Homo-oligomer: A and B are copies of this chain.
Amino acid sequence: MRVLVVEDFAVLARAIGTGLRREGMAVDVVLDGDAALVHLDATRYDVVVLDRDLPGVHGDEVCRRLVAERAETRILMLTAAGSVAERVEGLGLGADDYLPKPFDFSELVARVRALGRRAVAPLPPILTRGDVSLDPNRRVAFRAGRRLDLSPKEFALLECLLASGDRVVPAEELLERVWDEAADPFTTTVKTTIRRLRAKLGAPPIIHTVREGGYRIGGAP
C-alpha cells in the first residue's frame, strides 16, 4: 500500500513515516503543501495522511484538489484542535476520515489500514459475453463500452441470456424466468422484447435465433 504523509512538523512527520513503514507500507513524506501536490501529480497513492495546517498551500486546498482529481485516493486528515467545527469542515471537504491531534499511533495505523482496505475495489460479479457486460448489482449494462439504457424487462431478459452462457434458451424458458407470473403461453411478449433489446444492443447482432429452439447470445453466429 502506498501512503503519502504530509505534515510540516518534521519530527512528527518522520515518526509517522517510520512507524507506517514498520507496518509494511510504502511511505513518502513531504513537509509542505507544494511538495505534496508535486508528489500527488507524479504518483498514485492509496492513502494520503494530510495535516490540515500546512505552510504554503493549505491542507484544505490539497484536499480539494485531491478529491477533484483523484477519486480513488483516500484521505485521512489530521486536525490540530478537536473542535467540532473543525471536524465538520474537514468532512465537508471530502476527507474520508479525520484524526484529532494528539492521537495514539496505533489508532493512526488502524485508520490508514482501514482506508487502504477500502481502496481496493470489491468483487464485481459481472456477467460478460463478447463486448456485452452486465452488472446485476448496479443494474447497468454495457456494449462495447457504451452504456445501455434498458427497461426492466429488457434488462432481465439480457441477464437471463448472459447467465445461460452459450446455451440456447427456449422462449418458453425465458417467459418463465423473466415473466414469473402466470404466463399466458400464447403471448407474443418475448419476441417483442427481444426485438427491442436487439435494437438497443445495436450492430453487430449478438442475440442469435435458433429456429424452433430459442435464443442464444454471443459466440459464433
Contacts and interface: CB of A to CB of B under 8 A. Distances in A.
A203 interface: no
Classify chain A's interface size: 35 or more
A198 B87 CA distance: 25
Contacts of A87: 138
Contacts of A95: 126, 133
Q: How many copies does the complex hold?
A: 2
Given A88-B140, A92-B147, A168-B138, A211 B114 contact: no
Contacts of A124: 74, 96-97, 111, 114-115, 118
Best-buried of A84, A124, A126, A166 by chain B (most CB within 10 Å): A124
24 contacts: A88-B140, A88-B147, A91-B135, A91-B140, A91-B142, A92-B142, A92-B145, A92-B146, A92-B147, A93-B145, A94-B133, A95-B126, A96-B126, A96-B128, A96-B133, A98-B126, A118-B124, A137-B166, A137-B167, A138-B166, A138-B168, A139-B168, A140-B220, A151-B211
